[in-house]
Amino acid sequence: MTLDDIGLVNSVQDKWSLNDSLHHYCNRGMHEYKVLAGFKKQYKYPISTLINVLSGRNDKTMLDEFRRGQFKVTQSLEFVHNVLGKIQEFRQFNDKIYRHRTFLSVYIDLLTHPEFKHDILIRKIEQVPMKFIHCTRTNDYLRMIEDVYNYNNRNPIKLW
């Protein structure tokens, strides 16, 4: 048996949590996991959300690969810090939304939209905070954000 087998053997009896896997691979000195642990400490997001953001993936195999020690950071750390810093600004309006993985994915996509400006959305939410609501689906978040963004806008933009 090798160190690589410990997680697999222990998960047969009781499935390891993502925290267990993170701790195990950090102790083994795996750089990618140490990076993730640093982001977890700084931003207080669920591990699964940070795995998604740092790896740039949101698929079914992502968490299994993480548990097997195959997690890879593919996004620029500067980009991830920038995105998570912007997302933190939403906390003042709705404590539930800014931590929601679906919102995070939608927002990362919106940041690549040529007409979308983060500061404008923040200003609009300040004007109509009751419209900034928790949603469950990607399309619902897109509609909600577009509605808020275009509030009192003479030249509304299409975000999706």
CA angle in degrees (0–180, nearest 5) for 67-72-77:
125
pLDDT of residue 76: 95
Determine contact, residues 37/22, Cβ cutoff 8 Å: yes
Q: Is pLDDT at 9 greater than 90 in this prediction? A: no
Q: Mean pLDDT across the chain, nearest whole number?
A: 90
pLDDT of residue 68: 93
Q: Is pLDDT at 8 greater than 80 in this prediction? A: no
Among 30, 40, 31, 41, smallest CA distance to 7 is for 30
pLDDT-based confidence at residue 79 (cuts at 50, 70, 90) = very high
pLDDT of residue 14: 65
Q: What percentage of the chain reaches a pLDDT higher than 70?
A: 92
Among 126, 124, 119, 121, smallest CA distance to 103 is for 121
CA distance 66 to 13: 19
Domain ranges of the chain: 1-75, 76-160
pLDDT of residue 119: 96
What single-letter DSSP state applies at residue 130? G
pLDDT in tens, 36-62: 999 999 998 889 989 999 998 888 899
Q: Is pLDDT at 11 greater than 80 in this prediction? A: no
CA distance 101 to 84: 12
pTM above 0.85? Answer: no
Determine contact, residues 76/119, Cβ cutoff 8 Å: no
pLDDT of residue 12: 58
Tokens 């996509």 locate to 109
pLDDT of residue 13: 60
Residue 18 neighbours by CB under 8 Å, 6+ apart: 47, 48, 51, 63, 66, 67
pLDDT-based confidence at residue 94 (cuts at 50, 70, 90) = confident
